[in-house]
Structure 1
């Protein structure tokens, strides 16, 4: 089958302004809870877009690790490509897609590093092998082969054998400070619902967008 011929009819739900909160964070949390209840695979996976030094877009999947009234957070290697791009241009845009629920959330905003204490707290909660991996992988740097990477993992594992694994200085969290949030719900006939929130002078403004 030609991918151009692929079609899906969206029929699960809709968005009516009279049922929506004035604060989009309430709806964000509600949709995450519903994705968890629906047992959507990787419900916190999101596409993170940054800007290269040449001004080109660059996108990859990361994991959303929390939201509050002001921001969304994720963790990574500060020396990775995305880390270097965020250092140069501290803004980002993200998309979360839940095919099972025919829903999408997009948001964007300025980016700041989390405090060392916040990053350390989350790092301690990670599985031990993930903490080893944070030391072993020079993320986004070329490696000769898989063996080189695995050997580095073993070296770090042996180095910390019987010891607590501290957070590397090059690893930690970011927060994306919400400036815009958009909720998309699939509807029949491609007349999808798009509700767009924008923060202005500390207040969220809401409007419907054409699909």
Structure 2
């Protein structure tokens, strides 16, 4: 608890020092500190390159058949669905596969759709902790209490050449304020929005 209040105090102190900061900037700084101390959902993305795309790039989004390691059973195409929702705000020419596909199948469908790139993803690991009274009654395991977490792996491939443009690893972790009735897949939208922003060279 002391760490939480220290983080909040630091956030307020930074805001006060900013003096001329806009209200929106102050709010974002406060949110960032709340994420750092574990109260809000948190994500970290590691990219292999700084490659940027044009806004009119046609992107085909697909997810592999891989079942994530860990204590979770997300629905089969949830990563592709989350990526599509996160990307469509920034890339008008984005499409997604209706179901999980192998890489060669995904490339073929992307080529048939006239896409320039394929964003191929998989849920590498996911840990769905106890977050409701019903789950507690079913499992009765104190070591399963806590926040959800997961890891998603991405490959961005240029369809025409087969060139691997970028790879990324996104780690997500839930927050104490959003612990009730959430699943690891509920944490994916924001990191995909941020990844789309970075591909465009925007801050995110």
Same structural fold, with TM-score higher than 0.5 when normalized by the shorter chain: no
Normalized per residue, the structure richer in helix is 2
Normalized per residue, the structure richer in strand is 1
Pair member with larger Rg: 1
